[in-house]
Structure 1
């Protein structure tokens, strides 16, 4: 079973790496609205994935796994997650791939994320009031039921997402379509993993951080660890596969390199290694803390949840983008030296 999860993670990492979706320069470029590669790939994955996944579920070959609309956690968690994503320049899933490529700041971000997950475990009993209320698992399907009108809307919404991706690409004026192929591949991979005959679950990444932090520290005698133990282990193995993909393909194409200061960081923040280490750690901490408040991240919430047309996931995506762009505007100011 774990070998299969590892393979899925390897494929996931390979897809991200193929279109440079894991790169610091690409993700931070989205925060400054200079690079739409990630947004285009996610939009395509949501559009294609929503159609394929809902057909798969309609045929009885998979099940919905809707994250509940826990209002405070979704709104605040989304803003915090987006802020951490802007500062760090990685998502929970892309951290593993970039670590495999030799990115030192990704390693620092992982350490910060582990601490963020551990602190969240400790604070959860005290912040449950902020995270709530829980309005339940709401999706287009739960609101409409499975019928002809539902599938018509799924195709329309899916088409709109794909249109947005091409609109953004036209705005950029780029002729590279790796984002398109990667988006389709991510959708197909998720549909396969969703299958009742394969894993009967969505992909995800951020649950592995509190799981590993609690496990490594021995802090396992708590209700949160018991809740996340199974998905956390699955995601840890999955990210292990993503790391191996980053390592394998970067060694194969000769791009492996230990890197701390990336071009975008140098452009806006200078060349101080100390500054990058501090902010990578802080960004990782914020990223995972926000993800756990919301109950998911880019892969588990926005991608997997969005494909299910989950209301909580779509709202999370909006607030993540707000947190990402606002933080990008405030944090990334051109270095005057």
Structure 2
């Protein structure tokens, strides 16, 4: 438990360093006004794919590929992207920003808990739209195992993702942009590789399972197969996000940046200055975010980054639909700045 909290604390510190947890930064991707998150993720996936697959090849870690459940990945990805744009946080960054005093993150957490509970209740009736399940497909499984061709493909794909990160940075037109995303991406790749290690956690970093796990436990709705399925990862993620929460609180206090805040600059810029409006939409965004994450079986950290590093086809496809949902919502929900 202590180790997991510590890992979560490091995770939170990395994201805070490059402001990857901030509402303005994440909503900025939806409005194409700030691509820091996209650059950091591409860097983490690119470098992480090389590091992790070498580590697995050496026998130091194992694969934890998520199955390619077609309906869940596509619909869940789109829904997750919608929630991410409206809320302005991911499941993992919610905890960090809550620690920093962001009250809208609290509204998002509450919405996420409801989303997790409702998903558990509805799962038996929506099971049909989640399939078909094509299995745990990855570049490694397609290449037939630990072959020279697989490692060559891994290096090439890793370099492509890294190239995308630098390419996006080059074309991004934002006067205040810096290179903190680069170090954050590198550190996320290293941290995830460490977490995957058999001697550490032997699992990927994740966050969204926390919400149905906690919500089902609080409501007493635990006598079902889904709760049994998520008990182990849910318990781990609770302590991981506790570390992220403590990171947000402690580091913001040390920096003198802790601040109770409900409305952020981008919300005023694109929407309004109403506290009620922001609180309601944060709740809705949290609900939609977690419902979509559970449909797909993961989130930004557990699917896009952790799965992307494994070159899992389900995770790469999920990432495409997340960004599609994110950008469409940015266009429709935020529109143009006032």
Q: TM-score range by the shorter chain?
A: over 0.9
TM-score scaled by length of structure 1: 0.98
Offset at 1:180? 0.3
Q: Deviations over 1:218-250 (max 9, x none)?
A: 111111001001100100110000000000111
Offset at 1:41? 0.3
Report whether the alignment pairs 1:151 with 2:160: no
Q: Which residue of structure 2 lines up, in the alignment, with residue 124 of structure 1?
A: 123
Q: Which residue of structure 1 lines up, in the alignment, with residue 198 of structure 2?
A: 196
**Which runs of at least 4 in structure 1 moved beyond 3 Å after TM superposition?**
none
* Counterpart Cα distance in 2 of 1:191 and 1:170: 28
Q: Deviations over 1:77-133 (max 9, x none)?
A: 000000000000000000000000000000000000000000000000000000111
* Counterpart Cα distance in 1 of 2:201 and 2:265: 39
Counterpart selection for 1:251 from 242, 250, 253 = 253
Q: Which residue of structure 2 lines up, in the alignment, with residue 206 of structure 1?
A: 208
Q: Deviations over 1:2-24 (max 9, x none)?
A: 00000000000000000000000
Q: Which residue of structure 2 lines up, in the alignment, with residue 40 of structure 1?
A: 39
Offset at 1:61? 0.7
Q: Deviations over 1:40-82 (max 9, x none)?
A: 0000000100000000000011100000000000000000000
Count of residues in Structure 1 that have an aligned counterpart in Structure 2: 335
Q: Which residue of structure 1 lines up, in the alignment, with residue 170 of structure 2?
A: 170
Offset at 1:176? 1.3
* Counterpart Cα distance in 1 of 2:179 and 2:128: 45
Q: Which residue of structure 1 lines up, in the alignment, with residue 284 of structure 2?
A: 282
SS for the counterpart of 1:179 is: helix
* Counterpart Cα distance in 2 of 1:216 and 1:234: 17
* Counterpart Cα distance in 2 of 1:333 and 1:169: 23
Contact 1:269 1:334 in 2 (8 A): no
Counterpart selection for 2:239 from 217, 237, 240 = 237
Structure 1 residues 1-337: aligned runs within 5 Å: 2-144=1-143, 145-172=145-172, 176-334=178-336, 336=338
Unaligned runs of 5+ in 1: none
Offset at 1:175? 5.6
Q: Deviations over 1:113-166 (max 9, x none)?
A: 000000000000000000111110000000102111111111111001011111
SS for the counterpart of 1:204 is: coil
* Counterpart Cα distance in 2 of 1:3 and 1:256: 24
RMSD between aligned residues: 0.9
Offset at 1:333? 2.6
